[in-house]
Amino acid sequence: MTRTALVTGASSGLGAEFARQLAARGADVVLVARDREALAAVADGIRAVSRSRVEILPADLLDDDDRAAVEARLAQGVDVLVNNAGFGLDLAFEKNDVADEVRHLRLHVGVAMRLVHAALPAMLERGGGRIVNVASVAGFVPRGTYGAVKGWLISFSRWANVTYAPRGVTVTAVCPGFVHTNFHERLGLPPGEEGVPPGMWLDAETVVREGLRDAARGRAVSIPSWRYKLLVAASGLLPDATVVRAASRGR
């Protein structure tokens, strides 16, 4: 039976890569993002190399009407939900526009929660489904409001996985470190100016492949690469001041 996966933030970066890899595994995909033209380009690329059906659903998830349309599509039933939509802000919280901070909080927490809530009933009724929440290793360390919202996603995913896995629905927080996508460019940082050592970069293909593998195994948390697994483990043993200083390197 062909599965259907809905991916948010699917116009580029990790979202587009999730869509490509899910389609390569035989799933039909529903692509959600604000940019219709970018979604169409991703859809054309998937259709060129697979037989999967591709549906585009342009939506600004911070717009109530647009988000409601996505929630309605989820309520119809999907097998996989990938909550990937998001954006970053400068670590200087005191300098950021508070309206941007509120949008940041709403998208990463409020919207993700609402989409999971919309997808769950049909999954539970069917007795199967996978939910992937794209979080970050920043969620394990004190790193501004970005770390805070990703920490919520990780905690929620751990709880939801324990609660719903016995009923056939697994929930996995995928927690990459720095990934080569357009995420930093959207922060206004040209390549090479992110302040990240070369050895700390991951590629989107590996992050998604490992994340989907861990989701298939029913794991609540996926941290791609051993170097980030070790960093997360070490951060729990160090004083907050030390961890904050280390985590503030790079944007």
Write out the catalytic residue numbers: 146
Geometric angle at alpha carbon 85, from 163 and 88, rounded to 5°: 110
Beta pairing partners, 56: 31
Geometric angle at alpha carbon 59, from 117 and 24, rounded to 5°: 80
For residues 70-109, b (16+ Cβ closer than 10 Å) or e, as one string? bbebbeeebbbbbbbbbebbebeeeeeeeeeeeebebbbb
Locate 174 and state its tokens. Answer: 């995928």
DSSP letter (8 states) at residue 145: H
Closest CA to 233 of 139, 138, 144, 140: 140
